[in-house]
Amino acid sequence: MGVTTTAALLVAAIYFVILYHYIYKIPDTLEKGESFTVFSVDQKITLSLDNKIWHDIQPVTLPLFPQSVRTAFGKYERKINVKGIYNKEDIAFLIEYADETENRIGLKTPDYCAILFVPANSPASAQMMGFESIANIWRWSALRDAKKIDVVREFVAHGPTTQKPMENQNVLGQGSYAKGGWKVLFVRKRAKQQKDEFEFMHSKRLKIAFAVWDGEKLETFSRKSIAILRTLILE
């Protein structure tokens, strides 16, 4: 390989890195160092949206913004209410948000919502695929929920276009639509069960983010609303 070719490749690589940071790194004005707390409970965590265990947990209202590849990132778009609990074995998240239409099976795109986990030292990103670090993604599908098949898919990613399903699907989920909104439950063992999975322990610091896809608006892949990364705290 000649010197000219090598230099051209180096310039191209530098350009790509700069462009990558420009597109995918979140604006400093939206990175506020916020946190999300998951509360300890003594009771058994079940895959039930009606479990009374959730009644005493106050939801956290989080604003969602359009993902950067769709419109200018930073314009408020919708909000979700999130609760988190854990016991000695399991961790669970309950997400509730307004949606004018229930899209499961039909001509429209199904509704989705997802949770992103990345290491605590990961930089904030305007994407749902991680940024310069490994990411775990739990994605609930209204279509899969209707069919009761792998309701939540568990993915690993190292950045945009790198997402792939994990070998084993260990996250359980359930969704319910009523009164113009979704209620979606995610449950998984706290301990790591396979390669690339994160552990949810006090000694394992992580960050968390959320995303919603509106099937009525044909939102898929990068076309969605996301929340900024927050430090995940186990009370």
SS3 133: coil
**pLDDT for res 122:** 78
pTM as predicted: 0.85
3-14: per-residue pLDDT in tens?
A: 566 665 665 545
49-76: per-residue pLDDT in tens?
A: 999 999 999 999 999 888 755 544 456 6
Phi, then psi, of 144 in degrees rounded to 5: -65, -35
C-alpha to C-alpha distances, 49 to 59, 143, 174, 176, nearest whole angstrom: 14, 18, 7, 8
**pLDDT for res 226:** 87
How far is 210 from 59, CA to CA, in rounded Å?
Answer: 14
Taking a C-beta distance cutoff of 8 angstroms, is the pair 138, 154 a contact? yes
Is pLDDT of 227 > 80? yes
* H-run or E-run covering 110: none
89-111: per-residue pLDDT in tens?
A: 999 999 999 999 999 988 789 99
Q: Which of 24, 76, 87 is nearest to 53 (CA)?
A: 87
Is pLDDT of 85 > 50? yes
Q: Which domains does the chain have, with CATH numbers?
A: 28-234 (2.60.40.1190)
Q: Model confidence at 222, in pLDDT bands (50, 70, 90)? A: confident
Lowest mean pLDDT among 47-56, 131-140, 187-196: 131-140
